[in-house]
Structure 1
Amino acid sequence: MRFGDTTVPGWFHLPPGYAEGTKLPCLVMVSGMDAFKELQIGGSADRFLRRGFAILMLDGPGQGTCLTRGIWYDPDRQGALGTSAFDAAAARPEVDPERIMMWGLSFGSFWATQMAAAEPRFAALAVMYTNFQPRNWAIFQMAAPTFRQRFMYMTGSADEEALERIMDRMDVFRISRELKMPCFVMSGEDDSLTDAACTIEHLNNVPGPKTLVMYAGEEHGMGGSRSSQLGTPFFPLIADWLADRAAGKPLESTYNVVDTLGQMHSEPWGEARVHQHGAPLGVDQLWSDEPPVGLA
């Protein structure tokens, strides 16, 4: 795929049984900082392919094969990758250009947000395992040092000072208001790589319709808490949300919490949300299915 004066690699997938001449919705996908384009889509049983999506799975700058080509991540250029990817997907005869959507996981949640903010033609944006801390401070200052070392390589940074200058240009709050399309964010309440308050502040600033699904007691990578083990499976949940957008279903902005019994509680987003950890309401609300609800 062309990207400026170079190319970035990707795989284009079609669902099994694709009928020639059919126009499909398409997902442009970017995964996490230590992932690669061959990892995310495993085969014909993939959750997104089963729902009728075509998929353009990329190695973005700093990922996978791009690293072997010296194509480094630059926060000021990531948005342009969104336009390149959209144009590449729209040029495929199998793709409906009105239903091209963006998806990102982990660090890809930030990259995908940059790409969608710069390219308003995307019909929707869905991300999970969030990295929305300004400067991505938590992952590079508090997590394992290998994250910081790897990101120095991904950005082609020669020293710590160069990396710090790049981190200064990584702030989701600068682009939140550019997201006019429907947005979905899935996160863990106890994500050590992004404070939940940062995720909610970002979504407060998003003017388009939005859905937040937060799993109580959950970390960055889902699956370790009772909320995600007992609640709605997270990958099918995000896939169904995207399928609804592809089908043109209307979306109201909602704030959703999966409690530690696996029950999902939903409220209208309202004008703004403020994150309150744990069970902030009265005892009579802890087990209620009526809003406002606490977290069991």
Structure 2
Amino acid sequence: MWHYFPEHYMWSYQIVRMFSQAHFGGGEVNEILEAAGNITLGDTDSFHNAWMGMGNRSLAVANEALDKEQIETARAAYLRASNYIRTAEFFLQPDDPRKIPTYLKGVESFRKGAEMLDNPPRAVEIPYENSFLPGYFFEVPGKKDSPLVVMFGGLDSTAEELYFGPAQLLKERGIALLAVDGPGQGGALRLNHIPSRYDYNVAGTAAYDWAIQNLDVDANRVGIMAVSMGGYMAARSAAFEPRFKACAIWGAVYDYQSVWSKRPDNHPLAKILQHVVGAETMTEARQKLDLFNLKGVAEKIIMPTYIIHGEDDRQVSVENAYNLYNHLTCPRWLKIVPKSSPGSAHCQVDNVTETYEMYDWLKLQLNA
């Protein structure tokens, strides 16, 4: 993976992540490079300010275009702005007074842009315990009883972000998407104060039940998919919800505790992890992660399962993919993007085209 900041992998990763979404309207290459150029290495405020500045600039373009009834230009600028602002929020600490306003501004920008799409997504609220999980339903226009993929993001993803790639790639293949902020993600965490949980299948089943009761989809052609830390969530959901017909794991996580055992307490994502799992300290967070593993769980998955993982993944080692694959007893597929190849980084942000085979696999499994 190319590093904009050779000394800072995590910041470089976020820039490459933006590049991977630019193709789908989540940014413009030269705007991304300009924002990156305004970041001072080691200065987290400069990271926030650089992306917020670019987000505000895109919003100004969008608002001016909307005033002139230039819908296509406004739509594209609102969507770019939403992703820049999402990135601006990324490293803000949970108690930073800028965090929630930044998050809300990004969501608002996304919704303004999305409502101008030819087929706007439907914002949804999935009942969950005494609250709800927010999300979006991206339908396949003109297709009744369509197949559906329920998708969760990762540790730091939002449901809005899943438009920039997954929603569009699935739609091209005739598959609808229910993008969900699960426990510990997006609005479920920030607004509804719902932390993550090891038994993520509770959220997976809630999403499945709501979908078949409220959406025009085929209950017998519903798959589960997730990315990054979501690789654990998808597998856990599949293991305890046999009504899913296929499981796509975009970055495997067999044992999340082992992932964090190699990271120091001052890791750039440490405060995010504490917030996600509802822990006051890293010691408490690590204790909670003891249950976040698929030992004795992977064997319960019965539906066809596809895993893709990069051999150069510096966040979650490729051993997680091999461990999960070796413990599966269902029909299984494993794609390892080879070392030093484009796409070998975490979740293929360095070459998202390596994931297209996964979407083709879903099309086949769900008979789209």
User: TM-score range with shorter-chain normalisation?
Assistant: 0.7 to 0.9
SS of the residue 2:273 aligns to: helix
CA deviation after TM superposition for structure 1 residue 121, in Å? 0.6
Counterpart contact for 2:227–2:347, Cα < 8 Å: no
1:183 aligns with 2:183: no
Range moving further from structure 2, 89-98 or 137-146: 137-146
SS of the residue 2:308 aligns to: strand
* Superposed counterparts of 1:265-280, under 5 Å: none
CA deviation after TM superposition for structure 1 residue 60, in Å? 0.6
Counterpart in the other structure of 2:131: 6
Structure 1 vs Structure 2: percent identity of aligned residues?
Answer: 24
CA deviation after TM superposition for structure 1 residue 146, in Å? 2.0
Q: 1:41 to 1:86 in 2, by over 3 A?
A: same
In structure 1, how many angstroms separate the alpha carbons of the residues matched to 2:167 and 2:288? 39
SS of the residue 2:348 aligns to: coil
Counterpart in the other structure of 1:242: 362
Higher strand share: 1
Counterpart in the other structure of 2:287: 165
CA deviation after TM superposition for structure 1 residue 132, in Å? 2.7
Counterpart in the other structure of 1:61: 183
Counterpart contact for 1:136–1:170, Cα < 8 Å: no
Q: Report Cα offsets for 1:126-159 as digits up to 9, x if no partner.
A: 0112333441424861697122220101111012
Counterpart contact for 1:133–1:193, Cα < 8 Å: no
SS of the residue 1:9 aligns to: strand
Counterpart in the other structure of 1:86: 208
In structure 2, how many angstroms separate the alpha carbons of the residues matched to 1:210 and 1:103? 14
SS of the residue 1:102 aligns to: strand
* Superposed counterparts of 1:53-202, under 5 Å: 53-67=175-189, 68-76=191-199, 78-138=200-260, 141=263, 145-202=267-324
CA deviation after TM superposition for structure 1 residue 246, in Å? 1.1
Range moving further from structure 2, 26-35 or 136-145: 136-145
With normalisation by structure 2, the TM-score equals: 0.60
In structure 2, how many angstroms separate the alpha carbons of the residues matched to 1:137 and 1:151? 12
Q: Name the aligned partner's letter for residue 357 of structure 2.
A: L
Q: Name the aligned partner's letter for residue 242 of structure 1.
A: L
Range moving further from structure 2, 94-103 or 143-152: 143-152
Q: 1:143 to 1:198 in 2, by over 3 A?
A: farther
Q: Report Cα offsets for 1:132-191 as digits up to 9, x if no partner.
A: 344142486169712222010111101223212111111122311111100000001122
Higher helix share: 2
Counterpart contact for 1:186–1:213, Cα < 8 Å: yes
CA deviation after TM superposition for structure 1 residue 92, in Å? 3.1
Q: Report Cα offsets for 1:41-88 as digits up to 9, x if no partner.
A: 149981101111111100011111012221111213x11111111111
In structure 2, how many angstroms separate the alpha carbons of the residues matched to 1:171 and 1:46? 31
In structure 1, how many angstroms separate the alpha carbons of the residues matched to 2:204 and 2:275? 22
SS of the residue 2:345 aligns to: coil
Q: 1:139 to 1:106 in 2, by over 3 A?
A: farther
Counterpart in the other structure of 1:27: 149
Query: Paired residues, what number?
Result: 238
Q: 1:83 to 1:4 in 2, by over 3 A?
A: same
Q: Report Cα offsets for 1:209-245 as digits up to 9, x if no partner.
A: 0000001112214254xxx59xxx2232111000000
Range moving further from structure 2, 56-65 or 123-132: 123-132
With normalisation by structure 1, the TM-score equals: 0.74
Counterpart contact for 1:140–1:147, Cα < 8 Å: no
Q: 1:64 to 1:171 in 2, by over 3 A?
A: same
Q: Name the aligned partner's letter for residue 13 of structure 1.
A: F
> Would you identify which runs of 4 or more consecutive aligned residues in structure 1 move more than 3 Å?
42-45
Q: 1:45 to 1:103 in 2, by over 3 A?
A: closer
Q: Report Cα offsets for 1:64-118 as digits up to 9, x if no partner.
A: 1012221111213x11111111111111351100001001111111111111112
Consecutive unaligned residues in structure 2, runs of 5 or more: 1-125
Counterpart contact for 1:139–1:193, Cα < 8 Å: no
* 1:209 equivalent among 318, 331, 345: 331
In structure 2, how many angstroms separate the alpha carbons of the residues matched to 1:117 and 1:189? 25
Counterpart in the other structure of 1:222: 348
